[in-house]
Amino acid sequence: MKIPVTLNVNGIAYELELAPSTTLLSAVRDAVGLTGAKEGCDDSECGACMMLLDGKPVNACSYLAAQADGREVTTVEGLADGGSLAPLQRAFLEHGGVQCGFCTPGMLISATALLEASPSPSEDEVRIALSGNLCRCTGYDGIVKAVLEVSRAGT
């Protein structure tokens, strides 16, 4: 059985036909075709699949796409403004917050959600907020510096 689901991903409406058990991650990667969000653990442990749902963070591997029907989904592809990278993306590049890159989309979404909720976090708050996002290259130092720089720049 398939059901109609409309996903508004990064401001564009996609009308899809999905099995009810389809996860939001699978819908966005396989049906919409945006592969920025990654499948890491597929178990809600690693945060590589993180997206924003109506502005709030969600581990998309563990959320039913049908529940996102009609709602606003933001993926890493939606962070840049046209050809211009978002401040967090630029800061990740400047601080070497990217190694293999697999965790980066989730990290960027997670950091975006953090700065939305708490615009001037302490280093400890940044580390705690991002500890639901695993980086197997253990490149946390550059990532944390990047987030702190953007938070300071914004205040």
Partner 1 sequence: MTSAFVSAQSLDEALSALAGGARPVAGGTDLVVGARQGKNPLPESIVAIHRVEELRGLATSNGRLRLGALVTHQEIATHPAVRERLTALADASAIVGSHATRAQGTVGGNVMNASPAMELGGPLMVFGAEATLRSASAERRVPLTELLTGPGATSAAEDELLTAVEIPLPPDGSGSCYARLEYRRQMEIAVVGATAAVTLAGGTVEQARLAITALAPTIRLVPEAEEALVGSDAGAEAVQAAARAAARAAEPISDVRASADYRRAMAEVLARRVLTAAVARARGEATAIPASSALFGAAS
Identify which of 10, 101, 103 has the alpha carbon closest to the alpha carbon of residue 50.
Answer: 103
Q: Does 74 bind partner 1 (CB under 8 A)?
A: no
DSSP-derived pairing of the beta strands 3-9 and 72-74: parallel
- Distance from C-alpha of 101 to C-alpha of 98, rounded to nearest angstrom: 5
- Do residues 98 and 111 lie in contact, with contact meaning Cβ atoms separated by under 8 Å? no
Task: Give 42 or 85: the residue with its C-beta nearer to partner 1.
Answer: 42
- Distance of CA 97 to CAs 44, 90, 123, 141, 154, Å? 22, 10, 15, 7, 19
Q: Does 12 bind partner 1 (CB under 8 A)?
A: no
- Distance from C-alpha of 76 to C-alpha of 88, rounded to nearest angstrom: 11
Task: Give 52 or 146: the residue with its C-beta nearer to partner 1.
Answer: 52
Interacting residue with partner 1 among 12, 131, 136, 137 (CB under 8 A)? 131
Interacting residue with partner 1 among 7, 34, 37, 61 (CB under 8 A)? 61
Q: Which stretch binds partner 1 (CB under 8 A): 85-93, 97-105, 128-136, 141-149?
A: 128-136
Q: Which stretch binds partner 1 (CB under 8 A): 85-93, 94-102, 113-121, 145-153?
A: 113-121
Residue ranges that bind partner 1, judged by CB under 8 A: 1, 3, 19-21, 23, 42-45, 47, 50, 53, 56-59, 61-64, 66-67, 69, 110, 113-114, 117, 127-129, 131-133
